[in-house]
Structure 1
Amino acid sequence: MAFDSIENRHARISILVAARNEEQNIERCLQSLNALRFPEGEIEILIGDDNSDDHTALLVHQFCIDKPQFKYHKITSQLAGLKGKANVLAQLAHFATGDYFFYCDADIAVKPGWVAEMLPHFKPNTGVVVGLTRMKKSHFLADLLSMEWLFALTVTRFFSLLKIPITGMGNNMAVSREAYFAIGGYEKIGFSIVEDYALFIAIADSRFDFQMAYKEEVLSISEPVNTFSELLKQRRRWMQGVMQSFWVTKLSLFVSSLIVPLLFLVSLWLPIDPITSVIQYYLLITVISLIAIIMLKQPDLWKAALLFWFYMVSIGPIMLVNYYSPGKTVWKGREY
């Protein structure tokens, strides 16, 4: 359904982008937002600069100089109880004039039809719509990370059909203005290092419905982490979101992370063949992965789909150990 359908053609859209020290990525993001297919007078793009100390501000100003729909906001103050990205997005929400708030990260490139394809998922009582994301094609680790995202989002899609809320995604998500302010916004939610999950759950737990846009047209492209140490830092933050999430999400993490040793352990008491069970588990995960790349038209990931099981059973235990190890979470140069 296109953006000019009867029920959506008069909607005004605000896109909220929080940026901190994103001089390597911000121009790519802005170029993709500038290429969106949507009526110019009905869209605004708000960039909240989280007190960057690199050239982010200069690059944004240079890009936006002849584009009135882009609006730069330097965020130096802090709302009570908020910090980091949640603080930036909370303040941008008060600058926004749209009927719907669309969220993407500064290292994301959206597709031209992103807004037009997400918007029809807002039914009369829908408060939040979650999109899709994969990594930019660059190296095999990026392919495995893409497969990880698409696998998780495919599982999330299944649970969304059962009306079980799993998670939001701050790099590709939209909320209605009505729902955002009805739950009190980030000021009422409070600080969370996984602010996207906190917002999604707050809306899903309220009187509003949630939807998932499971289609290739809304698939955004993220810059991948390039080293294992960067991956560990990223996952330490993500794990905080998982541990705050719905019990299905937490249970699936522990089961997927520990299922191989658990199968061998259980075989000591029950008459099961652990080798056969492991093979069946591999086939299940691989079939879901292949279904995901077929439905979302990502054929370049077929090798990653065949090897994804090995990555998943390896990264799971590593994430658990990393999460429970002493130390602080570092995000955008700040400790939490």
Structure 2
Amino acid sequence: MLPTGNRIQVSILVAARNEEENIERCLQSLHELNFPKENIEIIIGDDDSDDRTYELVSQFIIDKPAFKLIKITSQVAGLKGKANVLAQLAHEAKGEYFFYCDADIVVQPIWISQMLGHFKPETGVVIGITRMKHIHMLADLLSMEWLFALTATRFFSLLKIPITGMGNNMAVTREAYFAIGGYEKIGFSIVEDYTLFMSIVKEGYGFTMAYKPEVISISEPMNTFPELLRQRKRWMHGVMQSYWLTRLSLFVSSLIVPILLVISIWFPINVLSSIIQYYVLVTGISLTAVFMLKQYDLWKAALLFWFYMVSIGLIMLVNYYLPSKTIWKGREY
């Protein structure tokens, strides 16, 4: 799908709040995209940051006409946070396609062209792949978590079963976005990417997944356990709103050991053998993702991932049901 003329074909929309540590890496990767500059625009919405995000973006884009920075200080249609920013950026965008990436993401130079290649006439949304920067074992386990979940998402997408979208690596058509009324019609959600994806699918548009190494974006990982808990509190809202199969998978994977122990009371099953079989299944899927997506540095994490998965799943469930506020980017939801 090659660009023609001097019109804007792709609008990249980036919501940023308090991202002074990450934003320049993101902007540099967007600047290095291998796509005609006259056919692309990059719009950054600063979500009323109280650090140096706005200043750093302003300095970076001063001599780069493809970039545009907007200070977001008001709310539209009762929206908050990232959804509010993206709703306003959509009305500034001129492109036929809206591409989304987070402010802590680094994209590959061929990201745009590779994602565009997955759009067909009926397609409304294309989902990409994201992993974490390779800096420590926790980051690798988080990467493996992403790749495992996205591999499952890929499988179900082939069966035309919608699982989820990803706000840090996703593209939608302008037509599909405004056909559903945009974020103003969707309403506020702390998991705005999932609600956008599902709204487009429910409107009758097709969806697909760009399951290939060429579209993999690199995210900054959570570096502490409290950070991870805050992030997962938010994610769990998305899981609990998602397709029933996703919810069931979370509960089964998180509670597999006690489930097997309970079952063994009434049925003659070998609990240890069942756990080993489950480990082999999960590890097999993990290694398949590692090799299919050519992320060979994650092979050790793939072997350890089962232990992480059953632990973090249970922690996520407990954390979700605890009576506490969801805090994200310094705001309570």
TM-score normalised to the size of structure 2?
Answer: 0.98
Structure 1 SS opposite 2:217: strand
Measured in 1, the distance between the counterparts of 2:204 and 2:235 equals 27
* Displacement after TM superposition at 1:130 (Å): 0.4
1:212 paired with 2:209, answer yes
Measured in 1, the distance between the counterparts of 2:35 and 2:326 equals 38
Measured in 1, the distance between the counterparts of 2:165 and 2:215 equals 15
The corresponding residue for 2:82 is 85
Measured in 1, the distance between the counterparts of 2:178 and 2:263 equals 49
The corresponding residue for 1:307 is 304
* Displacement after TM superposition at 1:270 (Å): 1.1
- Residue of structure 1 aligned with 2:42, choices 32, 41, 45: 45
User: Where do 1:144-293 residues align within 5 Å?
Assistant: 144-293=141-290
* Displacement after TM superposition at 1:23 (Å): 0.4
Share of identical aligned residues, percent?
74
Structure 1 SS opposite 2:35: coil
Measured in 1, the distance between the counterparts of 2:226 and 2:298 equals 23
Contact 2:11-2:98 within 8 A present in 1 as well:
yes
CA RMSD of aligned residues (A): 1.4
* Paired AA for residue 264 in structure 2: S
1:33 paired with 2:49, answer no
TM-score normalised to the size of structure 1?
Answer: 0.97
The corresponding residue for 1:295 is 292
Measured in 2, the distance between the counterparts of 1:29 and 1:240 equals 27
* Paired AA for residue 192 in structure 2: E
Which runs of 5 or more residues in structure 2 are unaligned? none
* Paired AA for residue 262 in structure 2: L
The alignment of Structure 1 onto Structure 2 pairs a total of residues equal to 333
Which runs of 5 or more residues in structure 1 are unaligned? none
Q: Which runs of 4+ in 1 moved over 2 A?
A: 3-6, 8-11
Q: Deviations over 1:279-312 (max 9, x none)?
A: 0000000000000000000000000000000000
Measured in 1, the distance between the counterparts of 2:248 and 2:151 equals 17
The corresponding residue for 1:70 is 67
Measured in 1, the distance between the counterparts of 2:209 and 2:78 equals 30
Contact 2:8-2:94 within 8 A present in 1 as well:
no
Measured in 2, the distance between the counterparts of 1:9 and 1:289 equals 43
The corresponding residue for 1:332 is 329
* Paired AA for residue 66 in structure 2: Q
- Residue of structure 1 aligned with 2:107, choices 83, 87, 110: 110
* Paired AA for residue 132 in structure 2: M
